[in-house]
Structure 1
């Protein structure tokens, strides 16, 4: 029992060459170009390069001495920890709840998994409407329930329950909601 697919190489080449060309044009070339540009002297967004920096590592020296880098790294670590802890925690609770019911378990599994198929763009737009300052769904809900007197700016530095900044909550909530069904 030998396969004729591997004896004839033409179909393989016909299907693989366009894929390799696509990878070269849209993945590998931009990757290499970004590495080259990281050593170049570029004054502004969209401006052409003035050549390589006089010390070739000047951009990286400026990056590592920037005080905002520490804040960005700290926020990234907090965001990663919160997302992982809450995703696994909520997924475990939902899995235990679905496992304990007899009727409709498949429906709940499907509903929990459904957010994964929503595109990131649609998800971002949906949660932007939820967290809007003026007229956002969450602020309207909290105001109508009498829990807050005025709208909360969910994208500022204020603290959520005195623990996490609002902007971190607005960043990890969509990610957690989208991927909790996968876990």
Structure 2
């Protein structure tokens, strides 16, 4: 069992030392340090840490905003951590302590999950209404697909499908090919590999 500290700073000017000291004081002996904005989905150190997790490992962050800026992203990360049998704790956000069977943290996390799901459904509803209005005015064209057959991305598209057929996880594919999760799912649905 390892105690891992995850540190993220948005810019070179931010100080890593404060977070590292806080995490060291909480037993961290291994650190993953990221120097990117929290809004960015390109976080190679986070992905490396998540991929290398083992059952019983503990991830500690100084505060939850260092791990994620969005509720949806946070929920995805926490689910990945749980799937690996690892645990998560925040030093300053005491409500987030999934280091043991803490009923209060589980309750709060469940509430956050529900709110995030509600937020997604409301956004989808608003988007649907906006599209209908745009269609009625003849202004809706839809989104351009990132992976197109016959285009320069065809080889990449075939490689993604091959990786999925070989049993690679969606997260592994996303990281390897630097493609969004939604793009992967749409491609797999189009190929009849996912419903």
Structure index of larger Rg: 1
Normalising to structure 1: TM-score of the pair? 0.27
Normalising to structure 2: TM-score of the pair? 0.26
- Structure with bigger strand share is 2
- Structure with bigger helix share is 1
